[in-house]
Amino acid sequence: MSTRSRIGYVMKTGAIASVYCHSDGYIEGVGLTLLNHYTDPKKIRALIKLGDLSSLHEKVAPPAGVNHAFDWTERAPGVTVAYKRDRGETDVDPIQSATIEEFLAIDSGQEYSYLWDGRWWVWDMDKPTEKLELAVAAVKERITA
């Protein structure tokens, strides 16, 4: 069973663009990957532009000339797997929300929702009123506990 999540960022307009991520959505998975590899707004926008994700990794795209596909045997190491780009699916584009409340109300079965507004925030969807700032030290502490 996968731990699903939603990843979004606050756009210049104040609206939120977000995508579904199917695998490893827990804080020690997607959360730590976001903290370690997605703090550049340009890279975050490129990630969200991919649309819904099967799995998040440190790179948005493979290096030039390197093959990458949805199938396990054809994936480039460390590259995010996206349903549209890598499997040709449709209806997986980012969703726009006018407010944080609207963002949190999107129901894609996610257990965690992550939002970038200059720093990463996370909501455990079992307790959506509790907003936590994602910080590397806190995640590492959680992993070793």
pTM of the model: 0.90
pLDDT of 129 reads 77
pLDDT of 91 reads 96
Q: How far is CA 145 from each of CA 28, 125, 140, 142, rounded to the nearest angstrom?
A: 12, 22, 9, 5
pLDDT of 140 reads 52
In this prediction, the residues of the chain whose per-residue pLDDT falls under 50 are: none
pLDDT of 120 reads 94
Task: Output phi, psi for 131, to 5 deg.
Answer: -95, 125
Count CA within 13 A, CB hemisphere, residue 7: 36
Task: Output phi, psi for 2, to 5 deg.
Answer: -95, 155
Task: Output phi, psi for 97, to 5 deg.
Answer: -125, 140
